[in-house]
Amino acid sequence: MSNARKVRAYTNIALIKYWGKRDDALILPTSSSLSLTLDAFYTETAVSFDASCEKDTFYLNDKIQDEAATLKVSRFLNLFRETAGLKTPATIRSTNYVPTAAGLASSASGMAALAGAANLATGLNLSPQELSIFARQGSGSATRSVYGGFVEWQKGTSSADSYAVKVDDADWDIGMVVVVVNKKQKELSSREGMKQTVTTSPFYSGWVESTAVDLVNIKKAIRDQDFEQVGEITESNGMKMHGTMLGANPPISYWEPDSVVAMQLVRQLRKQGIPCYFTMDAGPNVKVLCRLSDSQKIKTAFLNYFNEEQLIISGPGSDLKEVSL
Ligand code: PMV
């Protein structure tokens, strides 16, 4: 690994969700989405090409990975190899930094870090925009993890213009309290969940229409640093996404009883005058969008129902970057 260079990418949580593809192979979304990058969760990855190796080797958290996991990484690396005119096998070392085994989906930071490391190892010298296009083909949400702050993934008209752009650095009083309801691997992948929703839910077209409106409105609210407005749109957009899933056949729900407990507590805190709003993804965990200056207060309220290790405070994360080995 003498020539390896390491890249760190932070995960992101969508405030305006991506739920559905118009092209499965290229991972082109039906609608544009917008997220907040988080500094508490990230992945660091180093890639080195080594002609003396027979095949790709993938280590995750210092453990060598099986064929299926390695194949996923190899396929993604092939995009870079093909572009760079390389055939050399690679060694990939990846570490997920997630406080106390939170079990949150790491595909966004994982694929973005891998894209960043492959970019350095191949010497392709891609721009962040090009990197975002590559990351997209690993995992949709990874498109947005190239940048810090508030990030929009513009759905585009083709692969060449479906990438992320930074909307705002989020260098104001904003953050999240992540409520880890369950750290088990989800039973239905987001890939499958999306497909089932797009092909069977009668609510899907309504979702596509209304999410475009939400996107315009949240960008204005972000520009105005209107936290309440950002929160209201976030909560409503997330619930509408889950609504489309309930309309799928068979119906999909990622919720668990404790997810509902967390959502009710957020509503209660709001009634008590603490502005905070929830969102959920393809899993039972609840993310509470709040002012960072209120996060400790919110965590304390949640400690009545959840353990310390289930509650993780995070501020906004930064752009993908090279870090020392
Ligand atoms: O990137 P994927 O394929 O894991 O899809 C992510 C989908 C959601 O997390 C539910 C929404 C989003 O925009 O991140």
- Does 113 map to a domain? yes
Q: What is the pLDDT of residue 118?
A: 97
- Does 262 map to a domain? yes
Domain extent, residue 136, equals 5-171
- Does 209 map to a domain? yes
Q: How many domains does the chain have?
A: 2
Query: Ligand 1: does its nearest atom lie under 6 Å from the Cβ of 141?
Result: yes
Residue nearest to atom 6 of ligand 1 (CA): 141
Candidates 174, 16, 42; CA nearest to 102 is: 42
**How many Å lie between the centroid of ligand 1 and the Cα of residue 274?**
28
User: Using alpha carbons only, how large is the chain's radius of gyration in Å?
Assistant: 19
Least confident of 106-110, 217-221, 227-231, 311-315: 106-110
pLDDT digits (tens, 9 = 90+) for 242-297: 999 999 999 999 999 999 999 999 999 999 999 999 999 999 999 999 999 999 99
- Ligand 1 atom showing the smallest separation from residue 140 Cα: 1
Query: Ligand 1: does its nearest atom lie under 6 Å from the Cβ of 190?
Result: yes
Residue 25 and residue 138 in one domain: yes
List, edge to edge, every strand of the sheet that includes 276-280.
Answer: 276-280, 286-290, 175-179, 311-314
pLDDT digits (tens, 9 = 90+) for 102-129: 557 678 999 999 999 999 999 999 999 9
pTM (two decimals): 0.96
Q: How far apart are CA 34 and CA 153, in angstroms?
A: 6
Q: What is the pLDDT of residue 1?
A: 45
Residue nearest to atom 4 of ligand 1 (CA): 190
CATH number, domain containing residue 162? 3.30.230.10
**How many Å lie between the centroid of ligand 1 and the Cα of residue 71?**
21
CB 35 within 8 A of CB 14: yes
Q: How far apart are CA 323 and CA 304, in angstroms?
A: 38
Query: Ligand 1: does its nearest atom lie under 6 Å from the Cβ of 21?
Result: no
Query: Ligand 1: does its nearest atom lie under 6 Å from the Cβ of 137?
Result: no
Residue nearest to atom 8 of ligand 1 (CA): 281
Q: How far apart are CA 26 and CA 46, in angstroms?
A: 25
- Ligand 1 atom showing the smallest separation from residue 141 Cα: 1
Residue 114 and residue 161 in one domain: yes
Residue 149 and residue 193 in one domain: no
CA distances from 187 to 17, 51, 155 (A): 20, 38, 27
Percent of residues, the chain, with pLDDT higher than 90: 92
- Does 231 map to a domain? yes
Q: What is the pLDDT of residue 144?
A: 98
- Does 195 map to a domain? yes
CATH number, domain containing residue 268? 3.30.70.890
Residue 226 and residue 165 in one domain: no
Query: Ligand 1: does its nearest atom lie under 6 Å from the Cβ of 281?
Result: yes
pLDDT digits (tens, 9 = 90+) for 172-218: 999 999 999 987 766 899 999 999 999 999 999 999 999 999 999 99
Last residue within a domain, chosen from 150, 171, 192: 171
CA distances from 179 to 1, 191, 246, 271, 321 (A): 37, 23, 22, 20, 27
Residue 222 and residue 282 in one domain: yes
Tokens of 253: 């729900």
Q: Residue 170 above 60 pLDDT?
A: yes
Residue 137 and residue 275 in one domain: no
- Does 76 map to a domain? yes
Last residue within a domain, chosen from 171, 196, 228: 171
CB 193 within 8 A of CB 245: yes
CA distances from 150 to 23, 26, 317 (A): 25, 24, 9
Q: What is the pLDDT of residue 100?
A: 46
Query: Ligand 1: does its nearest atom lie under 6 Å from the Cβ of 13?
Result: no
- Does 158 map to a domain? yes
Last residue within a domain, chosen from 153, 171, 189: 171
Residue 113 and residue 198 in one domain: no
Residue 106 and residue 76 in one domain: yes
**How many Å lie between the centroid of ligand 1 and the Cα of residue 141?**
5
Question: Is 200 exposed, middle or buried, given 0-12, 13-18 or 19+ CB atoms closer than 10 A?
Answer: middle
Query: Ligand 1: does its nearest atom lie under 6 Å from the Cβ of 155?
Result: no
CA 130 to chain centre: 18
- Does 322 map to a domain? no
Residue 21 and residue 132 in one domain: yes
Residue 115 and residue 226 in one domain: no
pLDDT digits (tens, 9 = 90+) for 21-61: 999 999 999 999 999 999 999 999 999 999 999 999 999 99
**How many Å lie between the centroid of ligand 1 and the Cα of residue 189?**
10
Q: What is the pLDDT of residue 315?
A: 98
* DSSP H or E stretch at residue 91: strand 90-97
CB 182 within 8 A of CB 259: no
Residue 196 and residue 134 in one domain: no
Residue 11 and residue 130 in one domain: yes
